[in-house]
Amino acid sequence: MAGSRLKFFGWGCEGEGMTPEEEAFALKIHRERFGVEEFASLPVPGLDELRLRAPRLRPPASLAALCSTERYDRAAHAFGKSYPDTARGMLNDYESAPDVVAFPATEGDVAAVMDWTGTAGAMLVPFGGGSSVVGGVTVDAARERPLVTLDLSRLGKVLEFDRASRAARIEGGAFGPALEAQLKRHGVTLRHFPQSFAHSTLGGWIATRSGGHFATLTTHIDDFVESLRIVTPAGTFETRRLPASGAGPSPDRMLIGSEGILGVITQAWMRVQDRPKYRAGGAVRFKDFHAAASAVRAIAQAALYPSNCRLLDAQEACDTGAGDGSAAILVLGFESADHPLDAWMGRALECCRDHGGVPERTEGAEAHREGAAGLWRNAFIRMPYARERMVPRGIITDTFETAVTWDRFEAAHAAITRATADAIRTATGRPGQVTCRFTHVYPDGPAPYFTFHALGRHGALLEQWRAIKKAAGDALLAAGGTITHHHAVGRDHRPWYDRQRPNLFAEALRAAKRVLDPQGVLNPGVLIDP
């Protein structure tokens, strides 16, 4: 943002990326991890080298001013930010590139582009920041049928603010930083800070059930949605703005998580927060990961509701610089705009001590920015910039996540870790690394988030990634987890999603889609086959 345009390859905007020091540090760790001296490196094709088909359709004159068939625009909308997306970009496989990119400035524009796409027999893919890591905007079907991508970045305004109810009406294309800047003028904040915060939009968060800042209670964007406004091929509608309702199945809940297959979210009334004035937080060390998990369970079941309750296993703490690898680290934090949090933090630390936890530091309003917590936070924000540098070196680093009930967690953690590590060894011929953290926790279970590193081989990277991904997905489903807690389904998670959701629910969703999108224009291949 900030005047700069998104890279067509890699994370963030042009001019952004790993510093030389960050890159050297990452490579050093990978060298030690894989026991190699150097990495065979492939070049990444430049914009002029990309193999893009000639656009197969042209917008009508009335929409021409909103539309682009420029090489850059098409390339920058061909992919999300998943591992295979990045690998395919490197391999100059731009089959998923749209024929046309439309930049609507109004809700009327959205409807007009949608109508045209239907009439033209094309597909339409809503595009916020393009940060999907599950193939949500990567349309393989573009091989067979023309594709229009609808870039919503011009719909970025906070339109209205209701101080009494602490709610704001916000356009769907608002990016995280611009949204927060506008809310700040009113002294409030949405406090939804996914890792993709700078490069993703409100509409995208809602469409994908994005997981955010709060580790407990209001973990998903879902909880902040007061009402939605959506453009579908069958018409535009909005849900009623209410603090709560008991009138039938929630219309919002049908749209939240619909991943662009039912319509385009153009506006939402969102519940916002006063800016925190009080903070308590710090890190707690545990010799044993499962003892730490028990402490987290106690905290989650105590109804204390920390905003941060992120548990890193020893290796992940080490990899992110938050620990030395000898202990698991729990990053714990409370925040409030209303009251001091000593009682809350005090009791949470008691839960930690009950399970052998040793607090690193707990004092001071700025504790959350320092120590292990601060180191981890910085690593978290910088992490996505690594992929574009590592993929060309044949390094396969990816993450996947789930949620599972506590009774199954220990077995699930062991089975998923083992299956992924085994698959890395089988697929790549050498050991890799699998680590785990908790991103969010609930009274009835945690949301474990796994990171793996493997050294792949050029020419086989996608196949190797698929083998590892399959083993991990199969293991987490077999262990009782969900295929995704907050990365969404997209196209990459379809095989497991299809196994976990009831068939009759999929049929009901298909029927609902036929009502809202009778021609099957919207984001085909995501969630269901129309």
Residues 23-62 contacting a second copy, CB under 8 A? none
User: How far apart are alpha carbons 489 and 483 in whole angstroms?
Assistant: 8
CB of 411 to a second copy, least distance (A): 11
| Residue 437 touches a second copy, criterion: CB under 8 A | no
CB of 300 to a second copy, least distance (A): 9
Size of the site for a second copy (CB under 8 A): 95
Is the separation of the CB atoms in 317 and 325 below 8 Å?
yes
Residues 225-284 contacting a second copy, CB under 8 A? 226, 232, 234-235, 237-251, 253-259, 271, 274
| Residue 514 touches a second copy, criterion: CB under 8 A | yes
Name which of 241 and 425 has its Cβ closer to a second copy. 241
b/e map of 452-472 (b: 16 or more CB within 10 Å)? bbbbbeeeebbebbebbbebb
Structure tokens of 408? 């199954």
User: How far apart are alpha carbons 151 and 173 in whole angstroms?
Assistant: 8
Residues 467-496 contacting a second copy, CB under 8 A? 480-489, 493
Name which of 179 and 390 has its Cβ closer to a second copy. 179
CB of 154 to a second copy, least distance (A): 25
CB of 312 to a second copy, least distance (A): 20
Q: Which of 343, 381, 414, 460 binds a second copy (CB under 8 A)?
A: 343
| Residue 404 touches a second copy, criterion: CB under 8 A | yes
CB of 318 to a second copy, least distance (A): 28
Name which of 210 and 428 has its Cβ closer to a second copy. 210
Residues 80-139 contacting a second copy, CB under 8 A? none
What's the helix, strand, coil split of the chain in %, to 5?
A: 40, 20, 40
Name which of 81 and 453 has its Cβ closer to a second copy. 81
Q: Indicate the helix (H) or strand (E) that contains 496.
A: helix 494-500
User: How far apart are alpha carbons 108 and 127 in whole angstroms?
Assistant: 17
Structure tokens of 204? 């995208």
Torsion of CA 212, 218, 220, 223, to 10 degrees: -130
Q: H helices within 313-405, ranges in order?
A: 314-319, 342-354, 371-382, 387-390
| Residue 211 touches a second copy, criterion: CB under 8 A | yes
| Residue 338 touches a second copy, criterion: CB under 8 A | yes
Is the separation of the CB atoms in 231 and 108 below 8 Å?
no
Interior angle at CA 395, CA 389 and CA 397, nearest 5: 90
CB of 353 to a second copy, least distance (A): 14
Residues 438-457 contacting a second copy, CB under 8 A? 440, 442-447
Name which of 57 and 206 has its Cβ closer to a second copy. 206
